[in-house]
Structure 1
């Protein structure tokens, strides 16, 4: 019996192309269903994803306790969790109730804010020059249309807050499960890493596996260094913001300090977001107070940008402002707040390897032109 030789099949490449094309078209036709399926898998797996993230964050603390206190893995994890639970408990008792009260007070004041904006708008329209402009027919402004739109925006904001609160509750339950899963990940981290390393070498082989491992190692180092130091920097800024805003007499000084600290984690764009929130919260109480708060937060951000940030972070990221802005915009567009936080260190690693790649080429001919 003659053995089948695949090389004798003349039209194999055409058949494969047709099959691949057919599969691709089927995927396109059923894309919504496939995306829903992926979303369902993600929802099921999300506690494990949270567990991996929590274990990644807590791992340096566990290693530090293991090394300094000479304790075994189980006791190191236990002490780490006691420390984290203690911080969360203190926050729940002293910090979170005040933040919740401030947020609730702002929501309750939305009708008053709407009325204030309406009054400002009416006063603006009553100015003689604006009245002449309206009467000329060049500009058609109808307060009866604009004012209901302001109320509609306010109601939409309330609905968005309610939806966010519900989403936060669901995520909170997954985070609690993630904390439990993280215990097992931290306890068996060497075995888990060894398993994934073997899988990686099977898929990418030794040479490419080593390259990928080096990239992941640099990425881990860059993210750990940047996020850790930036968190300390933002905590200092939050404390200084709270002290200054309390002295100024700002509304919701504690809430604003927390917002300023959190937004400070996002390079360039974040600080301006914190300043804007501080201005908007206070300007409805007093326009002068709004500008004073914005001015103080702007000075604080300048202190951070020119003195504190260079002292702590220095040039560890090694990116120009343009590249950072591009990375933050791109990261925010794809992955929201998390993408913005991780954008700078990830872009820094990309720049390192792109620079190495370009260094392999000779560009002397460019200087001869």
Structure 2
């Protein structure tokens, strides 16, 4: 191979991309420092991306200029945050304090819970084995008050640091929204300057598809989870459950994680319910039943009505995305893993379709493909 024929710029870009991927996946100290610096900018982009829908709504619906639309949007957004902080946060903090104090006061006696005497010797042995297995675990839970306080203090420190980053991100997001057209134009100029026409068009089309996928899924899932959280609070209030607000928030937040969310939310909800009413352990079964009914309602009615076909992939791909995303980037990866996988899958299927068409295999195995997402261009 002639050295002059080698595309140096192509290999340089591939090496740069590979280096970034390695830094992200290995989570090296260098990446940690970069992440700390970029975190407010990333937060600002997320805030601006979500609030831009509201800004454009005021622009188009009421025919007012962008600056006034941004001011109105942020006034509403900050009012919601202040209202949430004034009404919800104090109650959650009070609930957590009561919960921590209640942990040490819970007298767990599994003999009182599993107090059934079966006539069958085998059933009695099974019951005895369950009691012997659960007792050490629950005793550790009741002795965890000190550890819980330390964990709470660490979380408070993280929240304080997060609030500072959030305020900085809020300020940056204002400028991002105000200068949206300028930033988009500069980014487009940069892409077409450093890439050839084919690569530039691919990047622009991919960005457009990513926008549609993330807009449909992320915004839809946030609205869906908010509705589920409010619905859970109303149902738990009707049945007068202890710590209903905290449980409803847990159910709403974990609902943002597809498939695994209900299971992740059911575990702390069950533990909190038992600590709140240790003398009525059957409340745990009731809370699990309520979560199951609400999740079925979400899966069959609320979710499809809000999200529609925004996912467009089967359960296998969603579970795969949540598993890989969670193992790599934790809870955030579990949530964003689905739209990322949908985007990769969409791009790959489009490329496969083009290559099959060129080779004369158009329509190959299409009847056996379970789900196809209609790509938007």
| TM-score, with structure 2 as normaliser | 0.77
Q: Deviations over 1:261-312 (max 9, x none)?
A: 1111111111222223322222241211121121112111111112222232
The verdict on how the C-alpha distance between 1:248 and 1:189 changes in structure 2, with shifts beyond 3 A counting, is same
Pair 1:268-2:259 in alignment: yes
- In the other structure, the counterpart of 1:59 is 52
The verdict on how the C-alpha distance between 1:323 and 1:144 changes in structure 2, with shifts beyond 3 A counting, is closer
Pair 1:48-2:41 in alignment: yes
Runs of 4+ more than 4 Å apart: 121-125, 127-130, 141-154, 363-367
Separation in 1, partners of 2:133, 2:46: 52
Is the contact between residue 273 and residue 283 of structure 2 (CA under 8 Å) also seen in structure 1? yes
User: How far off is 1:241 after superposition?
Assistant: 1.2
Is the contact between residue 105 and residue 142 of structure 2 (CA under 8 Å) also seen in structure 1? no
- In the other structure, the counterpart of 1:346 is 340
Separation in 1, partners of 2:217, 2:152: 31
- In the other structure, the counterpart of 2:101 is 108
Is the contact between residue 103 and residue 141 of structure 2 (CA under 8 Å) also seen in structure 1? no
Alignment of 1:182-197 (within 5 A): 182-197=173-188
Pair 1:198-2:189 in alignment: yes
Pair 1:336-2:330 in alignment: yes
The verdict on how the C-alpha distance between 1:40 and 1:233 changes in structure 2, with shifts beyond 3 A counting, is closer
The verdict on how the C-alpha distance between 1:182 and 1:148 changes in structure 2, with shifts beyond 3 A counting, is same
Q: Secondary structure at the match of 1:318?
A: coil
Is the contact between residue 101 and residue 145 of structure 2 (CA under 8 Å) also seen in structure 1? no
- In the other structure, the counterpart of 2:80 is 87
- In the other structure, the counterpart of 1:178 is 169
Is the contact between residue 237 and residue 260 of structure 1 (CA under 8 Å) also seen in structure 2? yes
Larger radius of gyration: 1
Separation in 2, partners of 1:224, 1:294: 32
Separation in 2, partners of 1:252, 1:148: 22
- In the other structure, the counterpart of 2:200 is 209
Separation in 1, partners of 2:238, 2:71: 40
Is the contact between residue 104 and residue 143 of structure 2 (CA under 8 Å) also seen in structure 1? no
- In the other structure, the counterpart of 1:221 is 212
| Contiguous gaps of at least 5 residues in structure 1 | 1-5, 9-23, 29-33
Counterpart among 227, 245, 260 of residue 236 in structure 2: 245
The verdict on how the C-alpha distance between 1:315 and 1:169 changes in structure 2, with shifts beyond 3 A counting, is same
Alignment of 1:108-187 (within 5 A): 108-113=101-106, 115-116=107-108, 119-120=109-110, 149-150=140-141, 153-187=144-178
The verdict on how the C-alpha distance between 1:215 and 1:91 changes in structure 2, with shifts beyond 3 A counting, is same
Is the contact between residue 283 and residue 291 of structure 1 (CA under 8 Å) also seen in structure 2? no
Q: Secondary structure at the match of 1:109?
A: helix
Separation in 2, partners of 1:301, 1:142: 30
Separation in 1, partners of 2:147, 2:40: 30
The verdict on how the C-alpha distance between 1:249 and 1:225 changes in structure 2, with shifts beyond 3 A counting, is same
The verdict on how the C-alpha distance between 1:45 and 1:365 changes in structure 2, with shifts beyond 3 A counting, is closer
| TM-score, with structure 1 as normaliser | 0.79
The verdict on how the C-alpha distance between 1:98 and 1:202 changes in structure 2, with shifts beyond 3 A counting, is same
- Matched length: 334
User: How far off is 1:154 after superposition?
Assistant: 4.7
Indicate the RMSD between aligned Cα atoms, in angstroms. 3.6
Q: Secondary structure at the match of 2:77?
A: helix
Q: 319-328 or 279-288: which moved more?
A: 279-288
Q: 98-107 or 34-43: which moved more?
A: 34-43
- In the other structure, the counterpart of 2:69 is 76
User: How far off is 1:187 after superposition?
Assistant: 1.0
Separation in 2, partners of 1:40, 1:208: 31
Separation in 2, partners of 1:144, 1:272: 23
| Contiguous gaps of at least 5 residues in structure 2 | 5-17, 367-377
The verdict on how the C-alpha distance between 1:292 and 1:38 changes in structure 2, with shifts beyond 3 A counting, is closer
Q: Deviations over 1:20-61 (max 9, x none)?
A: xxxx9xxx9xxxxx9323322332332222222211121111
